[in-house]
């Protein structure tokens, strides 16, 4: 049991260092990759957006509006 706790604590302590290293490796690989295949690897420094339609409409911050509705004011 204590071994599992120690392994978990070690993982939490090492995670930021490992993530920075992984981002550095992927960043360097994507800069030197003429094929574009490195784009298939997930980059932990960002996020991916998948869509089933052909394009995504461009939104500008000046004309974008976020509306929240429903049970926000009076939740059940």
DSSP 3-state assignment of 76? coil
**26 within domain boundaries:** yes
Tell me what pLDDT residue 43 has.
Answer: 65
Tally of CB atoms within 10 A around 20: 12
Token pair, residue 31, equals 């800069």
Q: What are the pLDDT digits (tens) for 37-74?
A: 877 777 656 666 777 887 877 888 888 888 888 888 77
Q: Tell me whether residue 46 is in a domain.
A: no
DSSP string, 2-71: HHHHHHHHHHHHHHHHHHHHHHHHHHHHHHS-SS-GGGGSPPTTS-----SSS------TTT------SS
Q: Considering the domain boundaries, does residue 69 fall inside one?
A: no
Domain count of the fold of the chain: 1
Q: Is the pTM of this model over 0.75?
A: no
pLDDT band at 5 (very low <50, low <70, confident <90, very high): very high
The domain in which residue 10 lies consists of 2-32
Report yes or no on 18 lying in a domain: yes
């Amino acid at each position: 049991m204590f071994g599992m706790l120690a392994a978990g604590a070690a993982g939490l302590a090492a995670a930021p260092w490992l993530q920075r290293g992984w981002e550095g490796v992927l960043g360097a690989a994507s800069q030197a990759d003429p094929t574009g295949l490195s784009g298939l690897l997930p980059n932990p420094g960002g996020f991916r957006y998948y869509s089933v339609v052909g394009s995504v409409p461009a939104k500008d911050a000046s004309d974008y509006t976020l509306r929240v509705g429903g049970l926000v004011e009076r939740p059940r």
